Structures are given as structure tokens and as C-alpha cells.
Amino acid sequence: SPPAIIAPSILSADFADLGAECSNTIKRGATWLHIDIMDGHFVPNITFGAPVVTKIRSHVERPTTKHGKGTFDCHMMISEPKKWVKEFQKAGCDLYCFHYEAAIDSTAAESPESTSELKTNPRELIRYIHECGMLAGIAIKPETSVDVLWDILASNQEKEVPDMVLVMTVHPGFGGQKFMASELPKVAELRKRYPELNIEVDGGLGPGTIDQAAEAGANVIVAGSAVFGAKDPAEVIAKLRDAVES
Ligand code: DX5
Ligand code: ZN
């Protein structure tokens, strides 16, 4: 597997002190910051938008390498992912991870003759994100089959290949939910076919669930409540990293 990447989710940070929370989290050993953007439509919750990302960017140095320390991993739980690409790039997002379910054209989904369009939409969005100068991630909810990703991952167009796949291990919308081990076969299948792919897991991860996720093949680990709710966040970050590296 590719290197371990620990990406604490700032959803569980103190929003009134976000700049310090972000810079401290990197100092405590995090690789990336996972930034949850929710629009109250794709998910039943609202967080914040690009202006907040702009403000926290000034507290965290930009990564100097691809996938490097300080990467802003923006998890876009929004209904119109294409609409916000440029704005988040300007705000300082490094990796724009959209949801497959939001990218597919719902009108195309309703008419069987346009299945090909269904498959090309996520690819076009990945291309657009790359053209805007960011890394691209594609996320799937628990109810979405991993099979929707094979065509996308097999693209022979370099610009249309995602840099990361996010397998949700909770229903997106809230921190602090119970880990769904039922999602791990998706991770294992992805890892089997793509030994070098960055595979992110998000939801319910912490010292008690990390071993199964690492065993399945995840290398990018999101943890919100487990890190920000801990007495010693640095210790939790180190534990998560050790579990992935061992
Ligand atoms: C949930 C978000 C997660 C969330 C994880 O919709 O995508 O990133 O912050 O929180 P924990 O780690 O507490 O489950
Ligand atoms: Zn997330």
C-alpha cells in the first residue's frame, strides 16, 4: 500500500478557534486536514464554505509535495460539486473529493438509454478538478456499490483518473457515529485491484476500529471525534499511523 496518511476531521474541532486547532493538529503529527463541507441538501447538516477554508489556509503551510503534510483534503458533501471547484481552489484546497452520487446526472439515471452519460460525468468532473490545479478524490456512500468505480479507475486518460477513493464507513452528515465494518469489503476489493491507490476511510475510526480498516487496505485515515475528543490527540494520531504502517 502507499504511505500512511492521517487526516483528522476538523468537524470535531472547536470552530471558534479553528486556526489554532488546525495548526496544532499538524504539529501533533497529522499528515492532512480533512475538511467536511456540507450543504444541508446532499446531507442533513450544514458546516461552512470556502471563506472559512481561506481563513484557515493562512494558519497551515501549503504542502511542498503531492499528498504532503498540510494537504487540505476537502470532503464535498454537496449537491453541486462542479459549481464549487474554482472557489475551493482559490480558497486553498489541495484535494477536492466529491461524491459519486452527487456527480451522476439524475436525469440521465432516469433514462436507461443514457447510461454512458452516467459514467462520463464523474470522469469529466475529475478532469476539471485536475485542470483547476487540484488533486481529485471520489467518494461513495454506504448505499453505493464499489462496482460504480471500476470504469472510472480504468480510464486511460491520465487527467480522468482519481488520486484517491473515499469509502464512507458511516452515513455522511455527522461526526461521532458508529463505524460500519460492512463497508470494508469495498476497501479490500479496491486494494486487491489497485495496490498503489490512495484509499481513504471516513467515519467511526479510532484506536478501536483502525486495525480492521488497515487490514482491509485503507491507507488514508480520517478521524474526527477520536482525535479532537482525546486527552492526548498526538497519541491517537501516532496510534492510527502505527496501525496502518505495521
Ligand atoms: C461525516 C464526515 C466525517 C466525520 C467523521 O459525514 O464525513 O469526516 O467528521 O467523524 P468521526 O471520526 O467522529 O466519525
Ligand atoms: Zn468527511
Mean pLDDT in residue range 26-31:
98
Tell me what percent of the residues of the chain surpass a pLDDT of 70.
93
- Residue-wise pLDDT for 124-172, tens only, equals 999 999 999 999 999 999 999 999 999 999 999 999 999 999 999 999 9
Mean pLDDT (the chain, rounded): 95
pLDDT digits (tens, 9 = 90+) for 74-113: 999 999 999 999 999 999 999 999 999 999 965 555 555 5
Spatial CA neighbour of 55 closest among 16, 81, 9, 82: 16
| CB distance 8 to ligand 1 below 6 Å | no
Active site residues per annotation:
36, 202
| Closest to 137 measured CA to CA, from 210, 181, 81 | 81
Dihedral sign of CA atoms 141, 142, 146, 147 in order? negative
Identify the residue with better confidence: 105 or 238. 238
Q: How far is the CA of 100 from the centre of ligand 2 (A)?
A: 14
Q: What percent of the chain has pLDDT over 90?
A: 93
Q: Is the pLDDT of residue 49 over 80?
A: yes
pLDDT of residue 118: 42
pLDDT class for 116, splitting at 50, 70, 90? Answer: very low
- pLDDT at position 115 over 90: no
Q: Which residues contribute to the annotated binding site for substrate?
A: 9, 75, 173-176, 204, 224-225
State yes or no: pLDDT of 50 exceeds 60.
yes
Q: Is the CB of residue 206 below 6 angstroms from any atom belonging to ligand 1?
A: no
Q: Hey, what's the cell of 130?
A: 485536475
CA distance 145 to 102: 14
Contact yes or no for 207/239 (Cβ under 8 A): yes
Residue 117 has pLDDT above 50, yes or no: no
CA 107–ligand 1 middle distance (angstroms):
30
Rounded CA separation 187/191 (Å): 6
ipTM attached to this prediction: 0.99
| pLDDT computed for residue 119 by the predictor | 38
Cβ of residue 227 lying under 6 Å from some atom of ligand 1: no
81, amino acid identity: P
pLDDT at 1 over 90: no
- Could you report the per-residue pLDDT of 168-194, keeping only the tens digit for each? 999 999 999 999 999 999 999 999 999
